Amino acid sequence: MTPRSLMAGALILALAPLAVAADTWQVRDDWAELFASQDAQGTLLVVDQREGASTTWVHAPERARQGFVPASTFKVPHTLFALDAGVVADEFQVFPWDGVERGVPAWDADQDLRSALRNSTVWLYQEFARELGEENERRYLERIGYGNAEIGEDLENFWLEAGHLEISAEAQIDFLQRLHRQALPFDEADQRLVKDLMITEAGRDWILRGKTGWSGDLGWWVGWVEWPSGPVFFALNIDTPNRLADIPKREAIVRTALGDLEALP
């Protein structure tokens, strides 16, 4: 197996500076009240690039720069890795369920890329990791500058709870901005496909693309809303001491914040 984008010889890092420097972030005091109303500890970073401008709002800026395990938000770049390496041919390829019940009914079935991303099917992405191998996983992480690019010794779980891979909300948005522009070092068709797989809602003139993640102790929701006037990117992470009971807080906080900005209906 020879990944398509690694055949050119030396790896070229697709690192790009964030569209808005951290010293221009605007702290939203009202978002502190929003987090408090949900009894949640975490951070929210929003970059609004509508109308040709770029404005960044944040709650808890120090935490927005802190790395955490990405959990299932890593399925977005991981899908690009698998497509590029030929581990998966396209969105129509079906991966048979192995018959092992894992406690999530949606996982206990055959999967394709669309269902696996929608249901955060861990076993399929663990299969991708085995097919890719440690060397390719590390090369891809370094190539796109994803978080600390650390894998550790557990190839099948490095992005999950207690894994070595970490990324900040700030870096999540940097990655999403490059994916939105199709500026990552992957085929344009693959990037377009992954963006399509990320669609969760759409209206007459807007599209919401996103991916949740949960490590057990930490919950993520990252993505962007596309408008004719430009995109609005967001990255939230919160502590989840109450485990599953805390999961709905992710979308509740983001949707309220984006609604206040008239970035999401």
Distance CA 227, CA 222 (A): 17
How far, in Å, are 29, 69, 121, 248 from residue 237 at the CA level?
Answer: 17, 10, 20, 12
What the block records as the tokens of 39 is 């009894």
Helix (H) or strand (E) holding 53: none
Is there a catalytic annotation at residue 72? yes
Which residues are paired to 220 by β-bridges? 213, 237
Distance CA 64, CA 35 (A): 14
Q: 66: buried, middle or exposed (CB in 10 Å: 19+, 13-18, 0-12)?
A: middle
Amino acid at 126: Q
Catalytic pick from 5, 72, 168, 215? Answer: 72
Asked if 256 and 221 touch (Cβ cutoff 8 Å), the reply is no
Distance CA 114, CA 106 (A): 12
- Which residues are identified as catalytic? 72
